[in-house]
């Protein structure tokens, strides 16, 4: 659960007090939780309790009344690895099933790119009502995971089905959900990420704006799904997403190539997400180059090894994935790179889209495979894009 992003939606029911425990369990298991409350949920438990336990202000309104600060349900939907609505009242279930977006919680649900889990809580008659059952069936059809309510004493004094599952049970369901995705166990994967720096002298280099985020998210996703991951990273300012990922730090393209070549044979999956500098200075000055009085200066560059293409030529059954960042003739260039570098899959980053590319947290990609299949994706967080890429790898390996 470490590092998992969970949006915990709380609606107005007595069972909201149990969500305090659920939040505590989630935090203790290493998850990062953002609580979203409906206005009526705040009548049951104070947002202060949830804010202190999650170390994040609770989101409830579309904007903060005094400052006008806008809370983006779209950003929250992108951020989440899973949204859990617990307790979910009959009213919220009805709104979710019918897309009635009149509060922050339902708008977040409608914007969620990842899966959603719902733990209903209500009186037995409400639970048994055909309206509720119809809405539950709709949610199930929409792919929502329902944590069935338990039977027992209800807040109304009646006995029957309708009480929210216990926090520990909900936590188990959440863990089970994430564990089910360990579909790459037993496989080894390598990922190149970040920029490379090509030294000019001891204090200067040629580099690029790559933040490394996309590669790091792919490494995280592969790791979470059970693969044994080695991340070969150029200079970036990012923490390694998990203790179980082995990181090899490099600076130049030549170093990245040397390290990648050493381990390529032992991996079944190789993802080339690094923005490798194509050229490096022929000579690296031993001392800092002085300005002197030159109006112009020339640095002669030599070609760097093409890591992906060289290793692609040595392939023995590995699934290789490359990236293409194009500004023109996007699809055509991506297809050419897929072929030239012997990739099985290429991920085309759209430079045309304002929410895609270097330094951003979001990306808009098209995934193309050797069979000529092309899939276009919406703008998503880089984490969600990583999931789509790993899904594509999985599918390719199954059909190959
Ligand atoms: N790549 C690599 N080694 C290089 C250059 C690129 O491994 N020396 C990999 C990148 O990691 C990426 C893919 O090749 O997965 C395409 O990178 P890109 O820079 O778009 O391709 P280039 O071949 O350098 O083409 P150009 O810069 O001319 O568009």
Tell me, letter by letter, the H, E, C secondary structure of 1-18.
CCCCEEEEEECCCCCHHH
**Separation of 368 CA from ligand 1 center, angstroms?**
16
For ligand 1, is residue 200 a contact (CB within 6 Å)?
no
d(CA 342, CA 138): 44
d(CA 61, CA 363): 27
d(CA 4, CA 29): 10
Which of 195, 250, 301, 322 has the most ligand 1 atoms within 8 A of CB, as the residue to mutate?
322
d(CA 184, CA 392): 12
Q: To which residue do tokens 């990181």 refer?
A: 247
For ligand 1, is residue 274 a contact (CB within 6 Å)?
yes
Which of 207, 212, 258, 337 has the most ligand 1 atoms within 8 A of CB, as the residue to mutate?
337
- 223, 231 Cβ separation under 8 angstroms: no
Question: Is 98 a residue of the active site?
Answer: no
User: 261 burial class (0-12, 13-18, 19+ CB within 10 angstroms)?
Assistant: middle
d(CA 353, CA 278): 24
Report DSSP state, residue 192: E
- The per-residue pLDDT string of the chain (400 residues; one tens digit each, 9 = 90 and over) reads 888 999 999 999 999 999 999 999 999 999 999 999 999 999 999 999 999 999 999 998 877 666 667 777 778 888 899 999 999 999 999 999 999 999 999 999 999 888 999 999 999 899 999 999 999 999 998 889 999 999 888 777 878 888 999 999 999 999 999 887 788 999 999 999 999 999 999 999 999 999 999 999 999 999 989 999 999 999 999 999 988 999 999 999 999 999 999 999 999 999 999 999 999 999 999 999 988 878 889 999 999 999 999 999 999 999 999 999 888 899 999 999 999 999 999 999 877 777 666 667 788 899 999 999 999 998 888 888 999 999 999 999 998 7
Residue nearest to atom 4 of ligand 1 (CA): 306
pTM for the model: 0.71
- Regarding beta strands 159-163 and 150-153, do their DSSP bridges make them parallel or antiparallel, or are they unpaired? antiparallel
Structure tokens at 277: 């500098």
- Regarding beta strands 345-350 and 319-326, do their DSSP bridges make them parallel or antiparallel, or are they unpaired? parallel
What digits encode the pLDDT tens for the residues 182-207?
Answer: 889 999 999 999 999 999 999 999 99
Which of 277, 308, 328 has the most ligand 1 atoms within 8 A of CB, as the residue to mutate?
308
- Exposure string for 244-259, b = 16+ CB within 10 A, e = fewer: ebebbebbbbbbbbeb
For ligand 1, is residue 193 a contact (CB within 6 Å)?
no
**Separation of 394 CA from ligand 1 center, angstroms?**
23
Summarize the chain as % helix, strand, coil (round to 5): 35, 25, 40
d(CA 155, CA 357): 51
- 209, 235 Cβ separation under 8 angstroms: no
Q: To which residue do tokens 């023109």 refer?
A: 328
**pLDDT, position 71:** 73
Report DSSP state, residue 48: H
Residue tagged active-site, from 208, 267, 369, 371:
208
Tell me the torsion sign for CA atoms 25, 26, 27, 29. positive
Residue nearest to atom 14 of ligand 1 (CA): 308
Residue nearest to atom 12 of ligand 1 (CA): 323
> Measuring CA to CA, how many Å separate 230 from each of 220, 248, 250?
10, 7, 13
**Separation of 324 CA from ligand 1 center, angstroms?**
7
**Separation of 273 CA from ligand 1 center, angstroms?**
9
């Amino acid at each position: 659960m470490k590092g998992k992003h969970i949006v915990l939606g709380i609606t107005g029911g007595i069972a909201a007090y149990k969500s305090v425990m659920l939040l505590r369990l989630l935090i203790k298991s290493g998850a990062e939780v953002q609580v979203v409350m409906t206005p009526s949920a705040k009548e049951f438990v104070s947002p202060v309790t949830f804010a202190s336990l999650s170390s994040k202000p609770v989101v409830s309104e579309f904007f903060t009344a005094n400052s006008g600060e806008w809370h983006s349900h779209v950003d929250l939907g992108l951020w989440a690895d899973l949204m859990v609505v617990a307790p979910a009242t009959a009213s919220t279930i009805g709104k979710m099933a019918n897309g009635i977006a009149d509060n922050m919680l339902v708008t977040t649900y409608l914007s969620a790119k990842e899966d959603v889990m719902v733990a209903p809580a209500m009186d037995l008659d409400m639970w048994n009502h055909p309206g509720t059952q119809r809405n539950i069936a709709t949610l199930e059809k929409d792919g929502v995971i329902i944590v069935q309510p338990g039977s027992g004493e209800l807040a109304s004094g009646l006995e029957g089905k309708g009480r929210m599952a216990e926090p520990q049970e909900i936590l188990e369901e959440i863990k089970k959900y994430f564990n089910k995705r360990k579909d790459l166990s037993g496989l080894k994967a390598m990922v190149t990420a970040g920029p490379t720096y090509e030294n000019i002298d001891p204090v200067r280099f040629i580099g690029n704006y790559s933040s490394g985020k996309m590669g790091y998210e792919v490494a995280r996703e592969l790791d979470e799904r059970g693969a044994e991951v080695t991340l070969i990273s150029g200079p970036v300012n990012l923490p390694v997403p998990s203790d179980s990922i082995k990181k090899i730090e490099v600076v130049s393209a030549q170093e990245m190539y040397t390290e990648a070549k050493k381990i390529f044979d032992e991996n079944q999956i190789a993802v080339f997400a690094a923005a490798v500098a194509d050229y490096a200075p022929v000579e690296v000055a031993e001392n800092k180059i002085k300005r002197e009085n030159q109006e112009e200066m020339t640095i002669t560059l030599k070609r760097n090894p093409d890591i992906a293409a060289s290793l692609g030529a040595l392939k023995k059954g590995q699934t290789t994935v490359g990236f293409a960042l194009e500004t023109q003739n996007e699809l055509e260039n991506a297809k050419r790179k897929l072929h030239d570098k012997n990739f099985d899959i290429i991920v085309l980053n759209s430079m045309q889209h304002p929410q895609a590319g270097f330094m951003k947290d979001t990306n808009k990609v098209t995934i193309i495979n050797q069979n000529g299949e092309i899939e276009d994706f919406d703008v998503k967080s880089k984490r969600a894009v990583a999931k789509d890429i790993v899904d594509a790898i999985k599918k390719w390996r199954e059909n190959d």
